[in-house]
A and B are shown apart, each in its own frame.
Chain A
Amino acid sequence: MSEARAPSTVGAAWLVARKDLAIEFRTRTAFFSALVFAVLALCIFYFAWDESIIAPAQRAPGVLWVVLAFSALLGLQRSFGIEEHDRGIDALLVSPISREAIYLGKAIGNLLFLCAIQLITIPALALFYNLPVGRPLLVVTGIVLLAMIGIVAIGTLFSAMAVNTRLAELLLPMLSLPFFVPILMNAAQATTRVLADRPLAESWPWLKILLAFDIVFVVACTLAFPFTLEE
C-alpha cells in the first residue's frame, strides 16, 4: 500500500460534511421542501391571530421558534437516510476514520444545511411581521445560530438511531422535541427581549443556559454516537 495516511478527525469530518452537502446540492429537493415549509408556516401563523388584538411584532418570537423547530426536524430527517439506502455508512465504517468523525461530519453538514434555511427564514419573518431591520435582528440571527448547534447535535444523533427503527419519521420528532424544549424555551425568551429592544444583558441568563446546553450535548452526543452502531 502506498504512503497513505488516514485524515485526522477534523479533516475526516469535513470530508463527510462536504460529501453530504454535495449530495444535497445535487438533488436540492430536501432543501427546498424545508425552506418552503418554513416560509409557508410563517404565513399560516400570521393568519392564526387577529392583528388588531395582538400586534404581529409581538407574536414574531414565538412563531419564529416553533417554525425553526419543525423545519429543523424536516431537514434532519434526511441526514442518515442517504446512508441507509445502499449502506453507504458501511463504506464510512470500513475506512480508517473514527466514528466520532462520522458523527461530527454529519452534524456539520446538517448545521450548514439548516443555517442556510434560517438565513432565508429570518428575513422572511422580518418581512411578514414588519420587524425593524437593524441590530436586534442581527442579534436574533446569533441566537438562532447558537440554538441550531444544540438542535443539530441532538437531531443528528437521533436521526442515526431513528433510521434503524420502524416508523423512523414519527420517531425522530418524538425523540428530539423533549430535548428541544430547553433550547426553544430559552431562545424564545431571549428573542422576545431582544426584539423588544431590551439590552442584551437582560437576556444573558437564558443565553447562558443555551450555551451550556450546546457544550454539554455536543460532547455527550459525540461520545454516544459509537453506541448507535452495531459493532
Chain B
Amino acid sequence: MADTPLPSSLTVELSLVSRTFGRRRAVDDVDLSLHAGDCLALFGPNGAGKTTLLRLIAGLLKPTSGSVRVCGHSLRDDAAARAHVGLISHQSMLYRALSARENVEFAASLYGVPDPRGAAVRALERMRILDRADAPVRALSRGLQQRVSIARAIVHEPSVVLLDEPYTGLDAAGGAALTEMLRLLRSSGASLILVTHNVEEGLAVASHAAVMLDGRIARHDDCATLDPPIYAGEYRELVLRGIDQEMSLDIGVSA
C-alpha cells in the first residue's frame, strides 16, 4: 500500500480502528483526525478504552483492524513513525536508580536527538525540575517524578503528545508548569490528546472534546461551540445512560 502523504497539518489519523483482547472489544471502529495545534480532551468512564486508544496511537499496541497514521506515516509499516509521538501514562516509565537527568538523556538518545544532554536540560527546565536533576528518581516525591516523566516524554519535541491523566499527583506549581508546556507545544504545532476525569480542567486547555463509551466515540465536539457547565452536565448524563444500557444487556431487560 503506497504511503500517500497526508495534508501537511494532519498529525493523527485513525480509520475504523478496532482492538480486541480475546473476546473483548476494547476499541470499536474508531475514526479520529487531529491537525497541528489541536488539543483533544478525551473523557469517558473507566474501562471505556481511552488508555487502549492512546496505546494504539503510541505504537505499543497494534490494531486488530483499521489503520493508525501519525504525521503521514502508517505505524504498522514504519517503526520510525513512533519517533513523532510522546506518551505520558499512568506509570512513570522511569528508572528509579538513575537520576532525572540520566533518565531524560537516555530517552533523548533513544530518539536520536542530536544533543541529548542539552535537550534533557531544556526539558527539565521547562517542567521546573532542573534543580533536582541529579537526585536519583526514587528520592523524588510522586509529583516531582510526574514532572520528570513529562520531561522525558517531550524531550524529543514530538508532533503528537498523548497524556493519560497527567495532572494526577501534580501540585499547583506542577500543574501550572504542565499547562504552560501544553500551550507551548500547541503553539509550536504539536497535537495533544489529553485523557482526564476532570471535565472542567480538560475543557480549559482543549480545542476539541470527545467522549468514549464502550470502545466507541459517543460524541465529538469543537470546544468553541461548547458552554463548559452545560457540557459537563450533558457528559455526566451520557455516561450514566451508557452504563445503564450495558447493564440491561447483561440482565436481559430491554433498555
Contacts and interface: CB of A to CB of B under 8 A. Distances in A.
Interface string A8-38: 0000100100010011001100000000000
Given A1-B157, A26-B136, A97-B110, A90 B87 contact: yes
A19 B157 CA distance: 22
Determine chain B's interface SS by DSSP, over half rule: loop
Category for how many chain A residues contact B: 20 to 34
Contacts, number: 96
Contacts of A98: 79
A1 B136 CA distance: 29
A90 B156 CA distance: 16
Given A2-B157, A95-B82, A85 B112 contact: no
A133 interface: no
Contacts of A1: 83-84, 156-159
A7 to B, nearest CB: 5
B60 A231 contact: yes
A26 B82 contact: no
A19 B111 CA distance: 15
A86 B91 contact: yes
B156 A87 contact: no
Nearest to A83: B95
Contacts of A95: 82-83, 107, 110-111
Interface in A207-231: 230-231
Given A5-B112, A7-B110, A87 B91 contact: yes
Interface stretch (B96-104, B230-238, B241-249): B96-104
Contacts of B132: none
B59 to A, nearest CB: 6
A96 interface: yes
Contact of A92 (B96, B98, B110): B110
A27 B92 CA distance: 20
A91 B93 contact: yes
B112 A88 contact: no
B80 A96 contact: yes
B111 A91 contact: no
A230 B82 CA distance: 16
Interface of A: 1-7, 12, 15, 19, 22-23, 26-27, 82, 85-88, 90-98, 230-231
Which 9 A-B pairs have CB atoms at the shortest separation, nearest pair first? A87-B91, A95-B110, A91-B93, A96-B83, A26-B97, A4-B112, A5-B112, A86-B92, A23-B97
